[in-house]
Structure formats: C-alpha cells, structure tokens
Structure 1
Amino acid sequence: MHVPDGFINAPVSAVTGVVAAAAVAVSLRGARRELGTSAGPGGSERTAPLAGLVAAFIFAVQMLNFPVAAGTSGHLLGGALAAILVGPYTGVLCVSVVLLMQGVLFADGGLTALGVNITDMAIVTVLVAYALFRGLVKVLPRRRGSVTAASFVAALVSVPAAAVAFTAMYAIGGTTDVSLGKVASAMIGVHVLIGIGEAVITALTVGAVIAVRPDLVYGARGLSTPLKLRVGGELVDAPAQAPAPVAARSTKKVWITGIVASVVLAGFVSFYASASPDGLEKVAHDKGIDRKAEDHAAKDSPLADYGVKDISDARLSGGLAGVIGVGATVVVGSGIFYVVRRRRDHGATRSGQVQETA
C-alpha cells in the first residue's frame, strides 16, 4: 500500500507529513519506556536489539507479495506485528524506519508522500491493531494462546482500516476525479483479503516467538494468572515469588535466528513472490487514480525497484537488493533504538542521582 508521489496533493501531503513527524516525536518518547520494560531486570538489553530485528523482519516479509485475487497481490504492512512484539510506540518507529528505507533506497513509496505512508501504514495500523489487541486480551483467557488469537484479529482488522484511511486522504486531497464510492469499495474489498494474509503472518510470528521467548513479546507481559491457595475454605492469592533470573538469558539465538530468517526471506524466497500489482496499485490502475502519478525522485537509485543496478541476473539482483535492505534496516533501526535506550538509561541515572542528593 505504498502511496507514490502524485496520488495525494501537496497540501494534504504536507499535513500528513506534520502528523507523521509529530507521531514519530511522541513515539520516540514513548519508546524510551517500552525499550526499558521487560519481564524482569535487564529489559532494555533485550528489547532494544529486538526492535531493530523486528524492523528488518518486516522489511523482509514486505518483499513477499502473495496472491489474493485474480491479478492482485498483497504484502504485510507490519503495524500489528510490531506493536504486539515491541510495543505501540516502538512499533510506529519500526514501520517508519522500514518505509524510510524503502523510499530512499528502493524508490518504493513517494518521498513527498512519506508522511502519507507513515500516517497510513505505521500510525493507523498500529493504533487500530494495538487497541483491538489489548481489548481482546482483557476478555480472553489469560494464556499464551489468547495472545496469538488476539494478534490474528488485530492484524486482520488493521489492513482494511489502513485502506479506509487512504480513502479518506484521497477524498480530501486526491489529484484525480474518481468516484469516492468506487475507490472505497475497491480499496476496502481487496484489503480485507490482504488482511487475512497479514493476520496469518502476524499470528504465526507472534506464536513462534511466544513459544521460545514469551518474555520478549511486549503484548504478552502481565498475563500470568496469580496462583490461588485455599485457606480456611476461601481462595486467596499465593505469596509472590521472586522472579526468575531472566536477565541471564541471552538474546543471541533469537537475534541470529531472526536475521537468518530475514536474509533468507528477502534474499531467496522473495524471488518467488507474486509479480502481480498489490492492492493499491491494482485499484489505482483500474480506477484511474494513477493518472497523475509522478516519477520517484530516487528512480535512478542503484537499488531502485528492489534490484541491483548493472546486474542482469534477476534472481541475483533481487536477492542482493533484499539482503542489502535487511542489513540497512537493521543497522538504522538498531542505531535509533540504541540511542533511544541510552537516553532513557541516562535520564534514569540522572534522576537517581538527584534523589540521592536530595
């Protein structure tokens, strides 16, 4: 659902740019808390690296377009996945980093439309998915399977929600005269189907991480049911036990597994992805939304269109581009989250020093 330059006019693009910048600023502050929160001591040492890995994984999976209808494909948006794994604020940053890398390096998604894309694919999907996810987790049984089920529903709904958001932006600032009803019905219809694929990918990924390291899943924290003891004929909460020493558990295996999976998906599996246009591209072509589409400012980039310039072999060119994209995303993402974590730790240290002085 990457919106190219020219679909949305300059005023609306500017407004969404301001909205996106404000959301990123708020998310940077919120991510300080999320990156320092975990099920035990040493939380920031585990969650900050995971956040960079999540961004790289989303980049990789977004290269895997899957068929959803005749001549149409879809791909992961990633807002629900990121929010559930690392938290909503950090999730917004993860998807924003992915969109920035795609726009600058691969000419995917317009640069003047970056605010539109961040608003639609990062902010809307994260807000809708995480709000629905938290609501479902509160009413479902307090167990790991409920987290997986809630992630499926949240991801499913987040995709058509993003389609509705794009339709609203098009209604206000669309550059072509196309019936809004036709745009809305086409966008929502196809993205409901894409949402099913998003839900499956999200639930499988969340379930896999929960199975091996539930302490690393932000959305799964605080779900353990207190142990009950019968005393004098009444059930009472058992005395709290000291937390297990989870700080000693290394994230090295998770990191290696995640990076290898991302490289394999982007560097090899992506070659077999559907070549059909995605939902927005198909609707734009069929309904005439793309009549005023503009060439991307980075169309001559060495990595434009997810291929390495001057390498004629399509498999090798696309694979190298994918691997480079994963590497660039994990480096930029991890760098940002490391700085955010350091600022949080520095702030906490200064606060402690002030309290000791007082």
Structure 2
Amino acid sequence: MAALFIIASIGVLAFGTRKIRGTVTPRQTQLFGMVTASIFAAQMLNWPLPGGVSAHFVGGALAAIVLGPHLGALSVALVVAVQALVFGDGGVLALGANVWNMAIVQVYGGYAVYRVVSEYNETGAIVLAGWASITLAALSAGIQLGLSPAFGSELISVVTVMAGGHAVLGVGEALLTLLGVHLVARFDAADAESVEGGVVA
C-alpha cells in the first residue's frame, strides 16, 4: 500500500506541475517560499489524540487559497517530504500516504470547498475550507490506518478517532487559515506598494 500511495501522489503532483509550467510569476515564487516556510514551522507543533495518533496544523487550505491548488499541493508536499527525510517525522515508508492525505486530499479538497463557498461569502469560504480540508485529510488517514495490519479490525474506531478529533481541532485549523490568508494578503499588498514606490522613485 505504501508503494501505491507513492505512485499516486507522484502522479497527481506531476499533473499539477504540468498544469502550472510556465505560468508561475516571480511574486508567486516569493509567496511559495513564504507560505512553505510558515507551514513547515506550524506543522512542528503536535497535539496528541487517543489511540497513539496526533494532530497538527497542516495548512493545506491556506496553501491552496494563496497559491492555487497545484502550487499549493507542491508546497505542502515539500514540507511533508523534508519533515520525513530530514527529521524523520511521519516516517519514510508512510511518506506517500502522508503526501496523499496532506498535500492532495487536504489541498484539493479544501480548495474545492473554498471555490464553491467563496461565491457567497469570502470569509466563510476560508474558514469552512480550513475546517473541511483537515477533516477530509483525517478521514482519509483514518481509513488507511484502520485498514492496516497494525490496527487489525479497528477501522470504525480509528476513523472515528481520527475524523472526530480532527473535526474538533479543525476549528483551530479554520481560524489559523483565516489568519494566514489575511496576513499573506497584507504582506503581498505591502510588498507590491514597496515595489511600485521604488519604480516611481
């Protein structure tokens, strides 16, 4: 199963890379670095859940909203890969599954929610995208863990703990996503004004 998720994750990320090839602007590149570094730092904070699992801010919806889904997926995938390969967080064998859950399910799922709801309310869309994204990722991870030999036949229990726990903690993800989007927007606006001011001068 580990190999399957590695292949699936690489396939989706490769597709996303082809979609944005030649379209990424210098400003998006700058935002990519800032968002990726911020998500990396935020993901280092973990909250334990019952059953030997834990939760942490992932930032998939934040990356998707600020960078777009394809670039956002690459951002989160980079964070997850560095944490696994350099710090051993999550484990190398689970890297494909972790990328799938956090960089694909969460990013694209959160972006889909954002796109639908933003037609009616921008703030509500950001908040709901943050909450839904981590809950969907936890549901995906819960199914994977529940079907693994390590948890035997505890699929329902594991899914309940993972999805239920993250649904509650998702409130924090939602609020941090809203805060992050506003901070990035403020930074981007200030940087744009600085560049324009320099050009005029």
TM-score category of the 2 structures, normalised to the smaller one: 0.7 to 0.9
Q: 1:113 aligns with which of 83, 90, 94?
A: 94
> Matches of 1:201 and 1:130 in 2, distance apart?
16
Instruction: Map Cα deviations across residues 158-202 of structure 1 (whole Å, 9 max, x no partner).
Output: 111111111232354444313211111111111112211111111
Aligned twin of 1:23: 12
Question: In structure 2, what residue type is equivalent to 1:22?
Answer: G
Tell me the distance in 1 between the aligned counterparts of 2:13 and 2:73: 7
In the other structure, the counterpart of 1:79 is: 60
Structure 1 residues 174 and 72, CA, compared in 2 at 3 Å: closer, same or farther? closer
Query: Conserved in 2, the CA contact under 8 Å of 1:99 and 1:118?
Result: yes
Secondary structure of residue in 2 paired with 1:26: helix
CA distance in 2, matches of 1:192, 1:84: 20
Deviating beyond 2 angstroms after TM superposition, the runs of 4 or more aligned structure 1 residues are 30-34, 64-69, 71-74, 167-176, 208-216, 245-250
Q: CA deviation at 1:157?
A: 0.9
Name whichever structure is richer in helix by fraction: 2
Q: Which among 30, 55, 58 is matched to residue 36 of structure 2? A: 55
State the Cα distance separating 1:53 from its structure 2 match.
1.6
TM-score (norm 2): 0.86
Contact 2:146 2:152 in 1 (8 A): no
CA contact (8 A) 1:34 1:90 kept: no
Alpha-carbon distance in 1 for matches of 2:144, 2:180: 31
The change in CA–CA distance for 1:58 and 1:247 in structure 2 (over 3 A counts) is same
Deviations, residues 50-109 of structure 1 (Å, cap 9, x unaligned) = 10221111001112335889x986321111010011110001100110011101111101
Q: 1:117 to 1:46 in 2, by over 3 A?
A: same
Structure 1 residue corresponding to 2:188, chosen from 169, 190, 213: 213
- Bigger CA radius of gyration: 1
Match of 2:110 in 1: 129
Aligned position for 2:135: 160
Q: C-alpha root-mean-square deviation of aligned residues, in Å?
A: 2.7
User: Which one-letter code corresponds to 1:150 in the other structure?
Assistant: A
Per the TM alignment, residue 33 of structure 1 is displaced from its structure 2 partner at its CA by 5.6
CA distance, structure 2, for counterparts of residue 113 and residue 64 of structure 1: 19
Quote how far apart the aligned CAs of 1:210 are: 2.5
Deviations 1:130-152 (A, max 9, x none): 00001011123xxxxx2x33111
CA distance in 1, matches of 2:100, 2:170: 18
CA distance in 2, matches of 1:214, 1:67: 37
TM-score where L is the length of structure 1: 0.50
Counterpart of 2:151 in 1: which secondary structure? Answer: coil
Relative contact order, CA 8 A, sep 6+: which one is greater?
A: 1
2:2–2:97 contact (8 Å) kept in structure 1: yes
Q: 1:191 aligns with which of 166, 177, 181?
A: 166
Name 1:202's counterpart in structure 2: 177
Distance 1:67 1:171, change over 3 A: closer
- Structure 1 pair 178/132, CA: closer, same or farther in 2 (3 Å)? same
Distance in structure 1 (CA, Å) of the matches to 2:75 and 2:94: 18
Name the SS of the counterpart of 2:115 in structure 1: helix
CA 1:29 to 1:139, structure 2 compared with 1: closer, same or farther past 3 Å? same
The C-alpha deviation readout for 1:14-44, integer Å capped at 9, x for no partner, is: 1111101101111212233652xxxxxxxx1
- Quick one: structure 1 residues 171 and 179, their matched pair in 2 at CA, closer, same or farther if it must change by over 3 Å? closer
Residues 34 and 86, structure 1, Cα contact 8 Å, conserved in 2? no
